Amino acid sequence: MSSGFSFELEACDGRTAARAGRWKTPHGGVDTPAFMPVGTQGTVRGLLPEQLRQAGAQMLLANTYHLALRPGAEVVRDLGGLHPLMDWDGPILTDSGGFQVFSLARLRRLDDEKVVFRSHIDGSLLELSPERAIRIQEDLGADCIMCLDECPPADDSRERILAAVDRTTRWARRCRDAQRRSDQALFGIVQGGIDEELRERSVQGLLPLDFPGYAVGGLSVGEAPADMYRTLEFTVPQLPADRPRYLMGVGTPTDIIESVCRGIDLFDCVMPTRNGRNAMAFTSSGPVRLRNAVHARDESPLDPCCECPACTRFSRAYLRHLFMAREMLGPILLSLHNIWFYQKLVRDIRIAVNSGTVEEFRANQLARWNGRS
Amino acid sequence: MSSGFSFELEACDGRTAARAGRWKTPHGGVDTPAFMPVGTQGTVRGLLPEQLRQAGAQMLLANTYHLALRPGAEVVRDLGGLHPLMDWDGPILTDSGGFQVFSLARLRRLDDEKVVFRSHIDGSLLELSPERAIRIQEDLGADCIMCLDECPPADDSRERILAAVDRTTRWARRCRDAQRRSDQALFGIVQGGIDEELRERSVQGLLPLDFPGYAVGGLSVGEAPADMYRTLEFTVPQLPADRPRYLMGVGTPTDIIESVCRGIDLFDCVMPTRNGRNAMAFTSSGPVRLRNAVHARDESPLDPCCECPACTRFSRAYLRHLFMAREMLGPILLSLHNIWFYQKLVRDIRIAVNSGTVEEFRANQLARWNGRS
C-alpha cells in the first residue's frame, strides 16, 4: 500500500525533538516542517493556486465532509479528482470528515458501525462509516487520506475519551482494510485527550496497523496550550521516527514552533485565512488589526519583513480602507499575507533545524511576538 | 492646461463612424476604442492590478463620490493620490461624483451654486459644487477628470432636461475655471436626454470651453437601446473629431459595438464585474449563467475562445461549485473572465476598424450573441 511515498529525515535537533525532512508523494515533495493552507470546499478562500505556490505552499488540505455534501464525492471523481478540479498539481490531504460530522452536523446516532447525521446545508440524513470515509476519500483522490476517528470535546469524561480511543482504533483497522487505492497514504489518528495513559493506549492500538504516517487528533479543541504541549511531549516520542507526524488543525505561530520542537512535521489550520478575512494579520512583530483607526493614514507596509503582494505593493492605509469599505480585496490580500507568513515561518524553522539553532529561533520569535501570536 | 496628453487617430472606418486611435496620458497610452474597468472604491472588486493588466486593461475608472466619502479626498492626496494607493501606474479616470449624488445619496437641496446631500454611508450632510468637484478630483489625482454635471432621469420632463443642460453648461465653465493642475485632462459632459435639440444645445454650450475631450452623459439611464443609439447618431458628429469621446457608464457588449460604430472611443461599465459576481459570464456565444444545474458536471471550459485564468484552468463544473458553495473565488474568477472578455472585445473592434471590417465584425458578433449580450 501507499506506493510513491517516502519520508527522509534530513536533520534532527539535538536539544529539542524538532526535525527537518522531505516527504515525497505522487504529486511532488513536501519539505517538513510544512504548513498546509486549508481549502475547505476545494478552494483556499479567495486565492488562486498560483498565489498559493508563490507564497511557498507545497501541499493543501481539503475537507471531506464539505466536499462530500457539495458537489459530492462522485462528482469530484467523475471530474478527475481534486487535483484537476482545483487546478492544484501538488500534494493534497483530505481529512476523514469525522471532525466536521461531530462539530458541524446535527448528530443523530453514533455506534460502532457508523455515525448518522444531518447535513448542515439541507438537513438531509447521511451516514459515515470507516468504509464510507475511505471510499469518499478515494473518490476525492487526495495524496494523503485519514482514518475515520472519533474526536470528543476536551472536557469530556475520561470514560468517554477512553471509549473514543478504542472506537478510533477499531475504525482505523476497518479503514486500513477498506483501502483499495495504492497511491494514497492512509494515516492513523491518535486520540486520548490530554491523558497520558489514554494517548499511550491509542498509539499502542494503532502501531500494529503499520500506517505510513500518524496524525495527532483531539488537540486544540478547547484545552490550554500548556496541556497541548505536554500531551505532545508524551505522545510524539511513541510514534515511529521514520514516518511523518501530523498535528491536525493547529494552530497559532507559537503553537507551530512549540509543536515542531516536540517532533511534529505537518500542520494545517484555518487561522491564517480566517483571521485574514477578519482584518487580522500575523506579522514579524506580532498580530496587527487592520481595522484600527491608527492605520488610517499609515503609508508604511503591513510588515516590512514580508515580501508578499500585500506588503510590497500596498500601504496599511489602503488595506484598512479595503476593510472599512467592505471590499473583497481586503480579505484576499490579508489571507495571502498570512499564508506567506505561515510558509515563511515553517521555512525559517526548517533552516533553524538544519543549522542546529532551533532553540535560539524559538526564543527570538516568541520574544518578538511577546506572547501575542 | 492638460499637458502630457495627445490623441492621435490611426484609422476611421469608411462605412461607420468607428475610429481607432491612441490617447497618450501622463501615465501611459490607451489604445482606443478602450474599456475601463470600474474600481468604485479604489479597487476593481476582488482583482489585483496585475490581473487587470494581464486582462489587457490599460485604464481604470474610480468613483469620486465614494472615495470622497471614504477614505476621503485629503487622505488619498496625503497618501500620494490614487495611483500609488491602488498600485496602478496606468491612467485613471474619475467621474465628478455628480451621478452618484443624484442616484445614491439622499438629496437635500439643488441650486445653481451647489448640491447638498446626505452621505449614503453615515447620513452626514455634505455638499458638492463645481469648484469642490474639481478640488476633490485634483486631490485624488486621476489623469482624466470630469466636470460636475446634472444627470436627470430618462423620463424627466423636457423642461427639466433643458434646465439640466443649461446648468451643466454653466457648471462646466466653473469647473474649467477652477482647474489648477495642468497634468489632468478635464472633460466636458454633454447632457440633453434623447432630445436632438437639447443635445445640440448642450454641445454648443460646451464647445466654446474647448475641453480636451468630451463625455456623453445621461444615456443608459433607463431609455431603450434604440433611443441611445439614435441619440449618439445626432450627438457625436457634433463633437470635435480630434478629441477623445467617452460614453459614460455604457454598457453591454452589443452597446459597445454599436456605440463604437457611432464614433465613441472610451467606455466604462460595472457590468462585467457586477454580473461576474452574480455568476453571469459573457462568452463568445452569448451569456452563460453558471448557477444553472446544467453545468454541474460539465468538464468543459466556460468559453473555449477565451484565454483567461478561469477558462484555461477550470471547468464550468468547478466554477459553478464555487458559486453554489458561496466561495469568493467564484466572483473573482468570473469578474476576471468578464474583464478579459470586454478587453478582447475592444481589441477586436480596434483590429476590425484598422482593417476596414468593422461592419462585418459587428454583424458576426451580434449573430453569435443572438441578441443576448
Distance (Å) from the C-alpha of residue A278 to the closest C-alpha of chain B? 14
Half-sphere exposure of A202 (CA within 13 A, CB side): 34
| Angstrom distance (rounded) from CA A97 to CA A62 | 10
- Whether a cis peptide bond, with omega within 30° of 0, leads into B72 is no
- Residues on chain B touching A293 (C-beta within 8 angstroms): none
**Active centre residues of A (catalytic):** 95, 268
| Closest listed residue to residue B17, CA positions, set B238, B347, B252, B227 | B238
H or E stretch at B159: helix B158-178
Any B CB within 8 A of A66 CB: yes
Active site residue B95: yes
| Closest listed residue to residue B293, CA positions, set A182, A72, A213, A245 | A72
Distance (Å) from the C-alpha of residue A86 to the closest C-alpha of chain B? 7
Q: Amino acid identity, residue A39?
A: G
Q: Amino acid identity, residue B192?
A: G
Can you give the pLDDT of all 373 residues of chain A as single tens digits?
Answer: 578 999 999 999 999 999 999 999 999 999 999 999 999 999 999 999 999 999 999 999 999 999 999 999 999 999 999 999 999 999 999 999 999 988 887 888 999 999 999 999 999 999 999 999 999 999 999 999 999 999 988 889 999 999 999 999 999 999 999 999 999 999 999 999 999 999 999 999 999 999 999 999 999 998 999 999 999 999 999 999 999 999 999 999 999 999 999 999 999 999 999 999 999 999 999 999 999 999 999 999 999 999 999 999 999 999 999 999 999 999 999 999 999 999 999 999 999 999 999 999 999 999 999 777 7
Point out the residue among A46, A80, A296 whose CB comes nearest to the CB of B328.
A46
| Angstrom distance (rounded) from CA B251 to CA B275 | 12
| Angstrom distance (rounded) from CA A146 to CA A214 | 9
Point out the residue among A46, A313, A328 whose CB comes nearest to the CB of B87.
A313
| Angstrom distance (rounded) from CA A293 to CA A295 | 5
- Residues on chain A touching B312 (C-beta within 8 angstroms): none
**Predicted local distance difference test score (pLDDT) of residue A1:** 59
Q: Report CB contact under 8 Å: A332, B328.
A: yes
Point out the residue among B43, B79, B314 whose CB comes nearest to the CB of A322.
B43
Grid coordinates in use for B226?
Answer: 434604440
Any A CB within 8 A of B89 CB: no
3-state SS assignment for residue A252: coil
Q: Report CB contact under 8 Å: B327, A79.
A: no
Find residues 323-352 of chain B whose CB sits inside 8 Å of chain A.
324-325, 327-329, 331-332
Can you give the pLDDT of all 373 residues of chain B as single tens digits?
Answer: 578 999 999 999 999 999 999 999 999 999 999 999 999 999 999 999 999 999 999 999 999 999 999 999 999 999 999 999 999 999 999 999 999 988 887 888 999 999 999 999 999 999 999 999 999 999 999 999 999 999 988 889 999 999 999 999 999 999 999 999 999 999 999 999 999 999 999 999 999 999 999 999 999 998 999 999 999 999 999 999 999 999 999 999 999 999 999 999 999 999 999 999 999 999 999 999 999 999 999 999 999 999 999 999 999 999 999 999 999 999 999 999 999 999 999 999 999 999 999 999 999 999 999 777 7
ipTM value, please give it. Answer: 0.97
Which residues pair with residue B152 across a beta bridge? none
Point out the residue among A47, A48, A324 whose CB comes nearest to the CB of B70.
A324
B363-372 LR contacts (CB < 8 Å, sep 24+) = B365/B253, B365/B254, B365/B257, B366/B254, B366/B257, B368/B284, B368/B285, B368/B286, B369/B253, B369/B254, B369/B285, B369/B286, B369/B287, B370/B286, B371/B254, B372/B286, B372/B287
Let me know: does A206 contact A213? Beta carbons within 8 Å.
no
pLDDT tens digits, B273-317: 999 999 999 999 999 999 999 999 999 999 999 999 999 999 999
| Whole-structure pTM value | 0.97
Q: Which domains does chain B have, with CATH numbers?
A: 6-269 (3.20.20.105), 271-373 (no CATH)
Q: How many CB pairs under 8 A join A and B?
A: 97
Quick one: A75 exposed, middle or buried, by C-beta within 10 A (0-12, 13-18, 19+)?
middle
| Angstrom distance (rounded) from CA A103 to CA A151 | 9
**Predicted local distance difference test score (pLDDT) of residue B153:** 86
- Residues on chain B touching A332 (C-beta within 8 angstroms): 46, 48, 328, 332
- Residues on chain B touching A297 (C-beta within 8 angstroms): 75, 78-79
Q: Report CB contact under 8 Å: A47, B315.
A: no
| Angstrom distance (rounded) from CA B124 to CA B41 | 19
| Angstrom distance (rounded) from CA B264 to CA B249 | 12
**Residue keyed to cell 453648461:** B169
Size of chain B in residues: 373
Let me know: does B215 contact B188? Beta carbons within 8 Å.
yes
Testing the interface with B: which of A38, A328, A335 to mutate, by most B Cβ within 10 A? A328
Grid coordinates in use for A43?
Answer: 478552494
Per DSSP, A38 falls in state B
Closest residue, chain A, to B328 (C-alpha) = A46
| Closest listed residue to residue A352, CA positions, set A85, A33, A23 | A33
Q: Amino acid identity, residue B76?
A: V
